[in-house]
């Protein structure tokens, strides 16, 4: 992963994704909940991962540590964003300035009714719960698209115990969606990276972590250089535009993605994201 590599052009990444999609993929069950790793020992998830419009969305945070988890207000989540963490605000709840405690080994849940700050039903698309300074948890408000992008596996930790996040933006992966994108955030600033794309998932361990994309053909690697201040932990990010061709023959096909990022604080000098399953679905 040489830092001299140029960022890929949009057409090159789109072609790589299509090359994976048009070949047979290994089917896996759709996830019932979108899960995210927060600070070490703390996890959060949203149910359902793909919520029909108007259905209540439930966020749960589990404290797997041996100490109390202290939240700075009465709210479990501090905001809902559109598309990506830190994107356009959808709603900021009213919260009391009192501490909320989650005991060791216990969970706490909170709901959202899919209404924005003005009380309007939000449209289908990708949304993100911001759980204070702990993590961001993406989920989908669905139309008829019942197989939203879903993460699987675990992250690896790098400098300052930070880890990179893989997500999607630009709406659902439906045929003809020219805005669909794969995103990476909270990585090492300015670092070289690789986007791995394949037609099947994997869980193959190495000294640097776990390969979550099967190396069996078709298996493609896309070299990248991340945005952000070089050497600044957590500032690395990139948006990989991957327009979905307007072809109904892609419906139901899946591609699998994972990012590897150079980080001297990670195992073998690398960190990696979770795996991400992207299934082309109906609008």
Domains of the chain, start order: 1-28+147-283 (no CATH), 31-145 (2.60.40.1930)
| Entry pTM | 0.56
Strands 135-142 and 50-52: parallel
Of 279 and 27, which is predicted with more confidence? Answer: 279
What whole-number distance in Å separates Cα of residue 157 and Cα of residue 177?
A: 33
Strand-pairing partners, residue 43, are: 37, 62
Per-residue pLDDT at 32 exceeds 90:
no
**What integer is the mean pLDDT of 53-81?**
91
In three-state secondary structure terms, 10 is helix
Of 144 and 167, which is predicted with more confidence? Answer: 167
Buried (b) or exposed (e) across 106-144, using 16+ Cβ within 10 A? eebebebebeeeeeeebebbbbbbbbbebbbbbbbbbbe
Which of 119-123, 176-180, 277-281 comes out lowest in average pLDDT? 176-180
Per-residue pLDDT at 6 exceeds 60:
no
Q: What is the 3-state secondary structure (H, E, C) of 76-128?
A: CCCEEEECCCCCCEEECCCCCCCCEEECCCCEEEEEECCECCCCCECCCEEEE
Which residues make Cβ contacts (< 8 Å) with residue 251, sequence separation at least 6?
A: 175, 280, 281, 282
pLDDT at res. 27:
29
pLDDT at res. 20:
57
Per-residue pLDDT at 24 exceeds 70:
no
> Is the distance from CB of 204 to CB of 105 less than 8 angstroms?
no
Q: Please name the residue ranges forming H helices in the chain.
A: 10-21
What whole-number distance in Å separates Cα of residue 261 and Cα of residue 272?
A: 6
Per-residue pLDDT at 26 exceeds 50:
no
pLDDT at res. 280:
85
In three-state secondary structure terms, 66 is coil
**What integer is the mean pLDDT of 60-76?**
92
What whole-number distance in Å separates Cα of residue 64 and Cα of residue 213?
A: 28
pLDDT at res. 34:
58
Per-residue pLDDT at 214 exceeds 90:
yes
Of 214 and 148, which is predicted with more confidence? Answer: 214
Per-residue pLDDT at 260 exceeds 90:
yes
> Is the distance from CB of 272 to CB of 258 less than 8 angstroms?
yes
CA 138: distance to chain centroid?
Answer: 6
> Is the distance from CB of 216 to CB of 235 less than 8 angstroms?
no
Per-residue pLDDT at 230 exceeds 80:
yes
CA 218: distance to chain centroid?
Answer: 23
**What integer is the mean pLDDT of 75-89?**
90
Percentage with pLDDT > 90 across the chain:
51
Per-residue pLDDT at 249 exceeds 90:
no
Tens of pLDDT, residues 125-155: 788 999 988 888 888 776 656 677 889 999 8
pLDDT at res. 176:
76
> Is the distance from CB of 274 to CB of 212 less than 8 angstroms?
yes
Per-residue pLDDT at 106 exceeds 50:
yes
Phi/psi-derived region of residue 14, left when phi > 0, alpha when psi is between -120 and 50, beta in every other case: alpha
């Amino acid at each position: 992963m040489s830092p001299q590599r140029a960022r890929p052009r949009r057409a090159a990444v789109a072609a790589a994704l299509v090359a994976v999609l048009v070949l047979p993929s290994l089917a896996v069950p759709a996830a019932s909940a979108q899960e995210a790793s927060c600070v070490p020992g703390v996890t959060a998830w949203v149910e359902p991962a793909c919520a029909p419009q108007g259905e209540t969305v439930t966020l749960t945070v589990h404290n797997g540590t041996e100490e109390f988890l202290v939240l700075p207000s009465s709210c479990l989540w501090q905001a809902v964003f559109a598309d990506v963490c830190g994107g356009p605000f959808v709603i900021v709840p009213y919260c009391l300035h009192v501490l909320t405690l989650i005991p060791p080994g216990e969970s706490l849940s909170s709901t959202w009714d899919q209404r924005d700050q003005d009380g309007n039903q939000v449209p289908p698309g990708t949304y993100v719960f911001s759980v204070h300074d702990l993590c961001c948890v993406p989920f989908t408000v669905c139309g008829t698209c019942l197989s939203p992008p879903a993460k699987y596996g675990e992250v690896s930790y790098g400098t300052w115990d930070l880890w990179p996040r893989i997500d999607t933006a630009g709406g659902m992966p439906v045929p003809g969606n020219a805005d669909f994108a794969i995103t990476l955030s909270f990585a090492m600033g300015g670092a070289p990276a690789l986007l791995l794309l394949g037609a099947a998932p994997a869980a193959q361990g190495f000294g640097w972590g776990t390969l979550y994309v099967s190396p069996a053909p078709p298996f493609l690697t896309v070299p990248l250089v991340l945005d952000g201040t070089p050497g600044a932990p957590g500032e690395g990010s990139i948006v990989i535009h991957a327009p979905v061709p307007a072809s109904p023959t892609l419906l139901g096909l899946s591609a699998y993605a994972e990012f590897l990022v150079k980080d001297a604080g990670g195992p073998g000098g690398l960190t990696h994201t979770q795996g991400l399953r992207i299934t082309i679905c109906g609008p």
